[in-house]
Amino acid sequence: MTTLDQLKSELAGNERLTDDLRRVADKPETVAGLFPAAGRRYGREPLTGGWTTDEAARALLLSVSPADQVLQAYRYGDTAEKLAVLKALPLLPIGDSGVPLLEDALRTNDTRLVSAALGPYADRLGQEAWRQAVLKCVFMGVPLKEVHRLHDRADAELGAMLRAFAQERAAAGRDMPPDALALLDQLKEA
């Protein structure tokens, strides 16, 4: 997984960002105006490891912000900002305090937010909520490869839920996504 230090070194030449990180460290509330404007202020070019400049800059801004500002950045974020917060969560020293953000994202009807909630930080999500989230992915058509540690965490109870869902789909003459069928197979063998 990419670390904050790697992001920092990739963006070391971005002077505007370097200045802004200092500003936020001095005055945490300034992050409220800078975080939404990240794409316009620092750029949107792709970096290594599946990150873009604006996402990485947002992660770095959050890394110098207190936890309450991280929660506010998500609360008032548009979709791109919320996705950036969710992506940054596993890199931030905030313990479990970001779990309610995952729960919020999983309540939405936006496939991008639902899949972003199931990254590495979802290790902190309880097993019941995690199973429901995986089932919701199948229901919404979110590819299961987006789910972090899917095969480690999938258990017999998730298997039962998927089987019941497959029966409903079969009764309606509708297909199950192939990745969900593959997961069911794996759980049968276990």
Partner 1 sequence: MRIFDPHIHMTSRTTDDYARMAEAGVLAVVEPAFWLGQPRTSPGSFTDYFDSIIGWEPFRASQFGIRHHATIALNPKEANDPRCRPVLDLLPRYLAKDGVVAVGEIGYDSMTPAEDEAFAAQLALALDHELPALVHTPHRDKARGTQRSIDVIKESGIDPGRVVLDHLNEVTVAAAKDAGVWAGFSIYPDTKMSPDRMVTILQEYGPERVLINSAADWGKSDPLLTLRTGEAMLKAGFSEDDVDRVLWQNPVAFYSQSGRLDISDKSEVEATFAGNSILRGGS
Tokens matching residue 84? 């950036």
d(C-alpha 18, C-alpha 96), whole Å:
28
CB of 65 to partner 1, least distance (A): 14
Shorter beta-carbon distance to partner 1: residue 112 or 153: 112
**Does residue 111 interact with partner 1 by CB under 8 A?**
yes
Cβ 77 vs Cβ 48: under 8 Å:
no
Q: Which residue has the tokens 């890199």?
A: 91
What 8-state DSSP symbol labels residue 46? B
CA-CA distance, 57 to 20, in Å (whole number)?
A: 10
In order, the DSSP letters of 147-165 are STTHHHH--HHHHHHHHHH
Does the protein bind partner 1 through residue 168 (CB under 8 A)?
Answer: no
Per-residue x/- marks for partner 1, 65-104, CB under 8 A? -----------x-xxxxx----------------------
Q: Within 126-165, which residues bind partner 1 (CB under 8 A)?
A: 139-142
Among 15-23, 30-38, 119-127, 182-190, the segment contacting partner 1 (CB under 8 A): 30-38
By CB under 8 A, name the binding residues for partner 1.
Answer: 32-33, 36-37, 39-40, 76, 78-82, 108-112, 139-142
